[in-house]
């Protein structure tokens, strides 16, 4: 696992990041990159104290930009595998091995986590937004996925080199899927669980509110028509 790098985009996560880092270390992952995306709290300091590699954006650029910064660092350090992991404790570190297994076996070069492949209870409005995202990906990119906007994903070195995230904010999730498809990166969806809490379900948190979803959809439409 020494060449597996976990990339975490973090914004104002000083209360959650230590627990996330410790849970990853417990599973044997020690190359943990936390990209502090212009936090107003002590996210960087706390993450560094917990033993993570910390990178910092001076201003808040968005999750897409933070993930690209982390991926670039991992590739410069010859990562064999890169895993995108959330900073707020929504993802289960025990499931990383299932995300990596098909890549290690060279069956695919990318795995995408899907909360819909497991019988998990998902809050109604979140489920509605997610289903809308799935439909949008199908309409605009002709890609059929069960979960189009799950931030839990894993990439081989070769796949990570092909993917360049240009969308700074939450539309990066659609962009990654589009690039995986257009660059013919072989992928597979993997069942994962998402831990929902009152904090993570706050409307608009991390750009996942209704208004943000409309903005993402608008950008997808404009990109498709070449505007």
Average pLDDT over residues 136-151: 75
Confidence of residue 118 (pLDDT cuts 50, 70, 90): confident
CB 82 within 8 A of CB 35: no
CB 47 within 8 A of CB 78: no
Q: When comparing pLDDT for 142 and 92, which is higher?
A: 92
Confidence of residue 49 (pLDDT cuts 50, 70, 90): very high
- For residue 61, what pLDDT is reported? 95
Residue 91 has pLDDT above 60, yes or no: yes
Can you name the CATH fold of 4-122+149-199?
Answer: Spore Coat Polysaccharide Biosynthesis Protein SpsA; Chain A (3.90.550)
Backbone angles phi, psi at 112, to 5 degrees: -120, 125
Average pLDDT over residues 160-171: 86
Q: What angle do CA 46, 37, 111 make, to 5 degrees?
A: 95
User: Per mean pLDDT, which range of 74-88, 119-133, 184-198, 200-214 is the poorest?
Assistant: 200-214
Average pLDDT over residues 115-144: 68
- For residue 151, what pLDDT is reported? 93
Q: Which residues contact 119 (CB under 8 A, 6 or more apart)?
A: none
User: Per mean pLDDT, which range of 4-13, 50-59, 132-141, 196-205 is the poorest?
Assistant: 196-205
- Going from N- to C-terminal start, the domains of the chain cover 4-122+149-199
Residue 210 has pLDDT above 70, yes or no: no
User: Tens digits of per-residue pLDDT, 7-48?
Assistant: 999 999 999 999 999 999 999 999 999 999 999 999 999 999
Q: When comparing pLDDT for 205 and 112, which is higher?
A: 112
CA separation for the pair 171, 101 (Å, rounded): 27
> What's the predicted TM-score (pTM) here?
0.84
Residue 218's alpha-carbon distances to 14, 186, 227, in angstroms, are 32, 28, 11
Q: Which residues contact 168 (CB under 8 A, 6 or more apart)?
A: 61, 62, 64, 65
CB 17 within 8 A of CB 47: yes
């Amino acid at each position: 696992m020494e060449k597996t790098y976990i990339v975490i985009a973090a914004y104002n996560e000083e209360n959650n990041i230590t627990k996330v880092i410790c849970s990853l270390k417990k599973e044997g992952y020690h190359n943990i990159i936390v990209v502090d995306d212009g936090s107003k709290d002590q996210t960087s300091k706390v993450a560094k104290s917990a033993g993570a590699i910390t990178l910092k954006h001076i201003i808040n650029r968005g999750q897409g930009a933070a993930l690209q910064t982390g991926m670039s660092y991992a590739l410069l350090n010859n990562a064999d595998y890169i895993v995108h992991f959330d900073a707020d404790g929504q993802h289960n570190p025990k499931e990383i091995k299932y995300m990596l297994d098909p890549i290690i076996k060279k069956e695919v070069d990318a795995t995408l986590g899907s909360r819909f492949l497991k019988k998990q209870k998902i809050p109604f409005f979140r489920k509605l937004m997610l289903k809308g995202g799935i439909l949008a990906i199908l309409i605009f990119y002709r890609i059929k996925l069960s979960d189009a906007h799950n931030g839990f994903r894993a990439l081989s070195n070769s796949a990570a080199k092909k993917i360049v995230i240009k969308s700074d904010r939450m539309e990066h999730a659609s962009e990654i899927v589009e690039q995986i498809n257009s660059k013919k990166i072989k992928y597979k969806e993997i069942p994962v669980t998402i831990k929902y809490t009152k904090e993570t379900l706050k409307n608009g948190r991390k750009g996942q509110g209704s208004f943000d979803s409309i903005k993402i959809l608008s950008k997808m439409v404009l990109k498709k028509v070449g505007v």
